[in-house]
């Protein structure tokens, strides 16, 4: 049986507590997939830097003269991303610089290993989706390590496998397919809970240690 992974120490609780206040509970949403190609920034966009914690940071691209629709979307996206990034930074030592865009032409939301996330539909502007898409930027479904360790339909990395067995018993495994994984992949809204979200982040961190 693979060795158990090392628990990652918690970060500054004062920072996390302040950021957790931004948590927004969203409506029921479905599956969000990895972005297959990088989206170009609107010519009129400017950048509004939002730093939620020390290791993963993100930037929201904002139109120079936003419409009310854009302002509403920016608010929902900011709440979702702040909550998700705070959770990642609290429970992992992962690092990523992420650029976030509001693109009404995107049916759901998507994430790319180049560090871009696009949100389209309002129903996907939630922490659950943000956590899921951050995972795509880190390499879930988008990296060569994913193909090597998850291409068989079961994750073969020792660290993440040991962790899911710690959570769910000695027979547990992480299944993979279509660029996603389960359990704890947060592929659908009905998978979300605080426990599942915490385990999601810890599994992503273990996958990275495995070679994601």
Q: Whole-number mean pLDDT of the chain?
A: 83
6 confidence band (pLDDT: 50, 70, 90): very low
Q: What is the DSSP letter of 118?
A: E
Q: Is 195 a residue whose pLDDT tops 70? A: yes
- Those residues with Cβ within 8 angstroms of residue 20's Cβ, 6 or more apart along the chain or in another chain: 83, 86
Give me the sign of the Cα torsion angle 104, 143, 134, 95. Answer: negative
CA angle 157, 52, 56 (to 5 degrees): 30
Q: Is 4 a residue whose pLDDT tops 70? A: no
Mean pLDDT of 152-168: 98
List of long-range contacts for 132-136, beta carbons under 8 Å, 24+ apart? 132/32, 132/185, 132/186, 132/187, 132/200, 133/32, 133/109, 134/56, 134/84, 134/85, 134/88, 134/96, 134/98, 135/111, 135/185, 135/186, 135/200, 135/204, 136/34, 136/35, 136/110, 136/111, 136/112, 136/179
Q: What is the pLDDT of residues 26-42, one digit of tens each?
A: 332 334 555 443 333 34
3-state helix, strand, coil in the chain (%, to 5): 40, 15, 40
Q: What is the pLDDT of residues 7-63, one digit of tens each?
A: 444 444 333 333 333 333 333 233 455 544 333 334 334 444 444 445 899 999 999
């Amino acid at each position: 049986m693979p060795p158990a992974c090392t628990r990652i120490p918690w970060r500054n609780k004062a920072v996390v507590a302040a950021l957790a206040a931004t948590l927004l509970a969203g409506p029921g949403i479905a599956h969000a997939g990895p972005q297959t190609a990088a989206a170009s920034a609107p010519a009129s966009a400017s950048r509004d830097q939002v730093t939620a914690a020390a290791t993963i940071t993100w930037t929201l691209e904002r139109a120079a003269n936003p419409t009310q629709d854009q302002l509403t979307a920016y608010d929902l996206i900011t709440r979702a991303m702040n909550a998700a990034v705070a959770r990642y930074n609290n429970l992992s030592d992962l690092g990523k610089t992420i650029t976030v865009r509001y693109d009404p032409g995107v049916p759901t939301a998507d994430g790319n290993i180049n560090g871009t996330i696009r949100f389209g539909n309002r129903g996907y502007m939630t922490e659950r989706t943000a956590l899921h898409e951050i995972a795509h930027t880190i390499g879930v479904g988008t990296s060569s390590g994913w193909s090597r360790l998850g291409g068989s339909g079961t994750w073969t990395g020792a660290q993440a496998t040991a962790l899911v067995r710690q959570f769910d018993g000695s027979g547990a495994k992480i299944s993979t397919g279509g660029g996603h994984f389960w359990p704890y992949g947060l592929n659908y809204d009905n998978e979300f809970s605080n426990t599942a979200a915490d385990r999601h982040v810890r599994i992503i961190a273990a996958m990275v240690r495995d070679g994601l």
